[in-house]
Amino acid sequence: MSADAAASDSSRSGETVPSGQPMTAACVEARHLIRGRWIGAERTARRWNPARGDELVSVAPVGDRNIVDEAVAAARASAPVWASMSGEARGAVLARTAGALRARASEAATLIAREEGKTLAEASGEVGRAAAMLEFYASLGRQPLGSTLPSADGSMHLYTTREPVGVVGLVTPWNFPIAIPVWKAAPALVAGNTVVVKPASIVPGSMHLLAECFEEAGLPAGVLNVVHGSGGEAGQALVEHPEVDAISFTGSGAVGRRINITAAERMARVQLELGGKNGMLVMPDADMELAADLCARGAFGLTGQACTATSRVVVMEGDEQRFLDALVARTMQIRIGDPLDPDTTMGPVVTEQQLRTDVSWIERALADGAELVSGGVASGAFLTPTILRRVEPEHAIAREEVFGPVLAVMVARSPEEAMRIMNGTEYGLSAGIVTNDLAAAMEFSRTIDAGVIKVNRLTTGTDVNAPFGGMRASSNGLFREQGFSATDFFTRVKTTYVGF
Ligand code: NAP
Ligand code: MG
């Protein structure tokens, strides 16, 4: 049975592991977390290891509208007490959660590798980043919020405070199953909100482990609630719920747009971080080894399943062959295999359905006139790192998000054309340039319509204390995530005039 079919097939509840297949590692029995209680259900969904197919990784309850109601009621009931605690006390819970996660780092990384399919090294990186994020937001509990303002009235104390928004719904994708819930929940919680998380339905085990860390840290009951289930049912119910004051969503553009409309109808605050088609511009002066390394790691690291993955490259006319030679040589070093094998540097595609989508994008690119340089071979759950050349800016492969290990290489005849190609998609998440020409780098930073600009670095990867988010179709653009900016979304400003 395919991992994808298994993940979406809830009718097989109660089924045992296929006979004759030894279970090589424990299966996580995920539960909803509501008001501090772990809750199961008759209806369950199963997730199999994408690299092994027949290894059951997690089983999770499939939540419906009623369970979402319960979770939201729990979050609402616990909101006043949590909001009235000091920022320092809330931060202390986050710091302890970081400690609990660090203590289980190896277990968490192994689980992510088995459930989502990134390599063990990549999964360890994700866990470390999630812990660092918790520590950063823990420290925010002691930072100033709000300001004191001079007043036109000399006998006035005029100041602003930032209050929690209330109950926040967090809807998250599968590609960073621990880090993304953390980068939403941590700033929400330290600001005094209570939350209901609806994680992606194919990675419930990872969210369960994270929820256990919050519990272990002594988070009061009802402050963080988790509802497993499908986006169409549990996710939608959460987004539509009149008692949910704000929604923070990361995922695809199609789902994001729907959520935006639903939230607007009931005037709920909404944060949307969506897809990307991130480009790398290789300038004529670039160190080609560096350019090749950044493009190979940016495109094929995390199996290309990062919102900030490099998915297109622009090189100047005359540099293409030199660049491709270096890129192919670097890509040959990638070792595809089981994420738990320490020699593996690229894991499987997350589901068979996603693999079929990736392959169909490659086929479409070839039909449009692109040429396969290397890769393009699908076997089981794996797709070899795919490099396409002779891609034209108007081709779908140059503009649409694939979300897999596929890199489109384009050629520009002038720096102006290069900039036009770089800005030639509806997305604007992250963009990179390889150059030692400071003026070119600064011009790039000023001209490119993307939320994250990288000079001589990967398009993926960001610091925990820096704002993160996209422009244009990559975001609804109202609020940034991460860093201090996250506080803007998770708080409301109140202005108080005290005459004396
Ligand atoms: P997705 O299909 O949009 O799903 C994201 C989440 O929304 C999942 O929890 C999903 O549940 C839920 N959902 C689906 N339909 C819903 C509905 N009608 N109402 C409410 N919730 C609903 O995205 P994905 O496939 O998990 O992730 C890949 C996408 O995420 C890519 O486009 C990628 O670029 C984007 N991404 C963006 C960022 C960023 O920061 N900009 C970061 C990572 C990923 P199910 O799991 O049950 O479908
Ligand atoms: Mg999806």
400-447: pLDDT as tens digits: 999 999 999 999 999 999 999 999 999 999 999 999 999 999 999 999
Which of 273, 352, 401, 481 does the annotation list as catalytic? 273
Token duo for residue 289: 């080894």
CB 213 within 8 A of CB 247: no
pTM for this one? 0.95
Whole-number pLDDT of residue 18: 42
- Site to probe by mutation for ligand 1, drawn from 183, 250, 472 as the one with most ligand atoms within 8 Å of Cβ, is 250
Residue 251 has pLDDT above 70, yes or no: yes
Q: Which atom of ligand 1 is nearest to the CA of 253?
A: 32
**How close is the Cα of 6 to the center of ligand 2, in Å?**
15
- With a 6 A CB cut-off, is 227 part of the ligand 1 pocket? no
Whole-angstrom Cα distance, residue 35 to residue 75?
8
- H or E segment and range at residue 182: helix 179-190
- Site to probe by mutation for ligand 1, drawn from 9, 68, 175, 489 as the one with most ligand atoms within 8 Å of Cβ, is 175
Residue 14 has pLDDT above 50, yes or no: no
- With a 6 A CB cut-off, is 171 part of the ligand 1 pocket? yes
Could you report the per-residue pLDDT of 144-176, keeping only the tens digit for each? 899 999 999 999 999 999 999 999 999 999 999
- With a 6 A CB cut-off, is 201 part of the ligand 1 pocket? yes
Whole-number pLDDT of residue 13: 34
Position 297: which residue type? R
Q: Which atom of ligand 1 is nearest to the CA of 198?
A: 9
Q: Which residue has the higher pLDDT, 448 or 10?
A: 448
Whole-number pLDDT of residue 25: 76
**Nearest bound ligand to the CA of residue 173:** 1
Q: Which atom of ligand 1 is nearest to the CA of 256?
A: 3
Q: Helices in 245-319 by DSSP H: which ranges?
A: 253-265, 288-300
Active site residue 273: yes
CB 247 within 8 A of CB 258: no
Whole-number pLDDT of residue 53: 84
- Mean pLDDT, the chain, whole residue set: 95
- With a 6 A CB cut-off, is 351 part of the ligand 1 pocket? no
Whole-number pLDDT of residue 24: 55
| pLDDT-wise least confident of 11-25, 72-86, 267-281 | 11-25
Could you report the per-residue pLDDT of 344-400, keeping only the tens digit for each? 999 999 999 999 999 999 999 999 999 999 999 999 999 999 999 999 999 999 999
Nearest CA to ligand 1 atom 22: 231
- With a 6 A CB cut-off, is 251 part of the ligand 1 pocket? yes
Could you report the per-residue pLDDT of 310-340, keeping only the tens digit for each? 999 999 999 999 999 999 999 999 999 999 9
Could you report the per-residue pLDDT of 100-142, keeping only the tens digit for each? 999 999 999 999 999 999 999 999 999 999 999 999 999 999 9
Could you report the per-residue pLDDT of 211-229, keeping only the tens digit for each? 999 999 999 999 999 999 9
- With a 6 A CB cut-off, is 274 part of the ligand 1 pocket? yes
Residue 1 has pLDDT above 60, yes or no: no
Task: Specify the pairing of strand 278-282 against strand 310-316.
Answer: parallel
- Site to probe by mutation for ligand 1, drawn from 58, 115, 174, 305 as the one with most ligand atoms within 8 Å of Cβ, is 174
Whole-angstrom Cα distance, residue 398 to residue 121?
30
Whole-angstrom Cα distance, residue 94 to residue 98?
6
Distance from CA of residue 436 to its chain's centroid? 31
Q: Which atom of ligand 1 is nearest to the CA of 468?
A: 40
- Rounded to the nearest 5°, which phi and psi values hold at 61? -70, 150
